[in-house]
């Protein structure tokens, strides 16, 4: 029987032959890139992992217990990103498979994108571009702007911290809800801690950066949306389940919120019929905020390095990136 040597790149942004994967090929692995711009379903993933696949560079495809039980050669999952809500980490741990993240490689990209969404909404750049391109030249009213206002950051991790820095740099006062953030973190940013309900009530910009967990599901719900200023802007570049989209659509339909920027959705791809597609003051994008050119290289290099180190027997080297480090013991 031939030795298993295949590595699957399941994330949708790359092409076979991409130079970023050359170190894997140079190390003797066969690299197969998903070129469909669509993530594999659970059934497709099972089929792909059936034979000879030792590692994956994973997008948001589902690593369920069933997938992991039926992947006989899989040794490591290297996530192209930092969210692991689509991986059954307990099942991976049981199977002895490390789940390695690319921490620290695309947080600036996401924060920049969230900030760009917020600025674009607050300055009404899209609608004005459309006005001028349609041949008109009109004053459509004063735009809200952001400087001198209050930014509410939910989740002060790598991305939330980078977003807070941008807001401070943009002349905003920053308030934070994060039960795990330290006083030192807040002080270094010049930010103030606040309870969640108050954040919703005082913020002119609410930017969501907490992970998707059972506790954060529908953290933005009807009750909290009822507290926001009618001019407030809400941005979510974290994960769709953090927002109750039905409640958000109701707030938008009743003009109870000023603008919304969403890169992530409860169901992805966003269904064509979603009412979120129908509002002028909503900016939408297809889960791409962490994918700037810098991240393309840095995140991919981290995935490649995590795989080569682990398969090369240097498991300690990947410990800072692994969410189930107990599988690295010994
Ligand atoms: N849209 C994209 O392309 C994209 C790219 C990268 C990451 N993300 C998402 O962004 C999230 C944040 O990434 P990060 O690198 O900043 O993660 P991180 O782990 O550095 O930070 C998450 C922060 O959320 C806080 N937190 C945890 N539970 C909370 C709660 N109940 N309420 C408020 N805060 C809470 C944590 O204390 C931590 O400070 C990830 O979980 C990921 O899902 C999205």
Is there a contact between 327 and 46 (Cβ–Cβ < 8 Å)? Answer: no
Say whether 268 is catalytic: yes
First to last CA, the chain: 27
Condensed to tens digits (0 to 9), the pLDDT of residues 46-96 reads: 999 999 999 999 999 999 999 999 999 999 999 999 999 999 999 999 999
Ligand 1 pocket mutation pick from 60, 178, 198, 295 by most atoms within 8 angstroms of CB: 178
CA R_g for the chain:
21
Condensed to tens digits (0 to 9), the pLDDT of residues 7-27 reads: 999 998 999 999 999 999 999
Is there a contact between 101 and 321 (Cβ–Cβ < 8 Å)? Answer: yes
Instruction: For residue 260, give the H/E element and its range.
Output: strand 259-262
Q: Collapse the DSSP code of 115 into the 3-class scheme (helix H, G, I; strand E, B; otherwise coil) and give the result.
A: helix
Q: What residues have CB less than 8 Å from 19, skipping those under 6 apart? A: none
For residue 162, give the ligand 1 atom closest to its CA: 16
Q: What residues have CB less than 8 Å from 267, skipping those under 6 apart? A: 240
* Of 216, 205, 172, residue with least CA distance to 190: 172
Q: Domains, the chain, ranges and CATH?
A: 6-105+292-329 (3.40.50.720), 107-284 (3.40.50.720)
Confidence (pLDDT) at 7: 98
For the chain, the 3-state helix, strand and coil shares in percent, each to the nearest 5, are 40, 15, 45
Q: Collapse the DSSP code of 30 into the 3-class scheme (helix H, G, I; strand E, B; otherwise coil) and give the result.
A: strand
Q: Angle of helix 125-133 relative to helix 107-122, nearest 10 degrees?
A: 60
Instruction: Identify the active-site residue in 124, 149, 224, 239.
Output: 239
Q: Which residue has the tokens 């290099």?
A: 301
Is there a contact between 92 and 49 (Cβ–Cβ < 8 Å)? Answer: no
Q: What residues have CB less than 8 Å from 99, skipping those under 6 apart? A: 63, 77, 79, 84, 87, 89, 92, 322, 323, 324
Q: Collapse the DSSP code of 53 into the 3-class scheme (helix H, G, I; strand E, B; otherwise coil) and give the result.
A: strand
> What is the rounded distance in angstroms from the CA atom of residue 85 to the CA atom of residue 61?
10
Listed as ranges, residues in the chain with pLDDT below 70 are 1-2, 330
Is there a contact between 247 and 241 (Cβ–Cβ < 8 Å)? Answer: no
Cis status of the peptide bond prior to 269, with omega within 30 of 0: yes
Q: At residue 272, what are phi and psi to the nearest 5 degrees?
A: -55, -30
101 CA distance to ligand 1 middle (Å): 13
Confidence (pLDDT) at 4: 79
Residue nearest to atom 39 of ligand 1 (CA): 157
185 CA distance to ligand 1 middle (Å): 15
Confidence (pLDDT) at 330: 59
Instruction: Identify the active-site residue in 268, 277, 297, 314.
Output: 268
Find the residues whose C-beta lies inside 6 A of ligand 1: 81-83, 106-107, 110, 154-160, 177-181, 209-212, 215-216, 237-239, 263-264, 287, 289-290
Say whether 293 is catalytic: no
The rounded mean pLDDT for the chain is 97
Confidence (pLDDT) at 37: 84
Confidence (pLDDT) at 45: 98
Instruction: Identify the active-site residue in 79, 124, 158, 287.
Output: 287
Residue nearest to atom 41 of ligand 1 (CA): 211
* Of 148, 67, 160, residue with least CA distance to 58: 67
Say whether 314 is catalytic: no
Confidence (pLDDT) at 31: 97
pTM for this structure?
Answer: 0.95
| Range 317-322 contact pairs with CB under 8 angstroms and sequence separation of 24 or more | 318/98, 318/100, 320/103, 321/100, 321/101, 321/102, 321/103, 322/98, 322/99, 322/100, 322/101
The residues with which 264 forms a beta bridge, in sequence order, are none
Taking CA atoms, 123 is separated from 91, 118, 142, 160, 322, in Å, by 46, 9, 9, 22, 40
* Of 329, 292, 243, 313, residue with least CA distance to 105: 292
* Of 208, 249, 259, 207, residue with least CA distance to 229: 259
């Amino acid at each position: 029987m031939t030795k298993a040597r295949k590595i699957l790149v399941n994330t949708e942004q790359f092409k076979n032959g991409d130079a970023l994967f050359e170190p894997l090929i140079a190390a003797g692995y066969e690299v197969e890139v998903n070129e469909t711009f669509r993530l594999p379903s659970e059934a497709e993933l099972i089929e792909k992992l059936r034979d000879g696949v030792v590692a994956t560079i994973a997008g948001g495809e589902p690593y369920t217990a069933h997938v992991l039980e039926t992947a006989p050669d899989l040794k490591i999952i290297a996530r192209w990103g930092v969210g692991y809500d689509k991986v059954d980490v307990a099942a991976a741990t049981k199977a002895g498979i490390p789940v390695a993240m690319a921490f620290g490689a695309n947080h600036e990209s996401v924060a920049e994108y969230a900030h760009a969404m917020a600025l674009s909404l607050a300055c009404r750049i899209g609608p004005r571009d459309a006005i001028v391109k349609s041949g008109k030249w009109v004053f459509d009213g004063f735009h809200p702007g952001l400087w001198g206002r209050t930014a509410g950051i939910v989740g002060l991790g790598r991305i939330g911290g980078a977003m807070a820095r941008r807001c401070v740099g943009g002349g905003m006062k920053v308030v934070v809800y994060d039960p795990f953030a330290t006083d030192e973190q807040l002080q270094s940013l010049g930010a103030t801690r606040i309870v969640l309900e108050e954040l919703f009530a005082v913020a002119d910009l609410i930017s969501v950066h907490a992970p998707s967990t059972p506790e954060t599901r529908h953290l933005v719900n009807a009750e909290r949306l009822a507290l926001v200023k009618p001019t407030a802007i809400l941005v979510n570049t974290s994960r769709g389940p953090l927002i109750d989209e039905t409640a958000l659509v109701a707030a938008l339909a009743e003009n109870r919120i000023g603008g919304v920027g969403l890169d992530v959705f409860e169901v992805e791809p966003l269904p064509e019929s979603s009412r979120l597609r129908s509002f002028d003051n909503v900016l939408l994008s297809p889960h791409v905020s962490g994918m700037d050119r810098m991240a393309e290289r840095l995140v991919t290099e981290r995935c490649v390095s995590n795989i080569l180190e682990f398969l090369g027997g240097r498991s300690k080297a990947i410990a800072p990136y692994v969410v189930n480090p107990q599988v690295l013991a010994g």
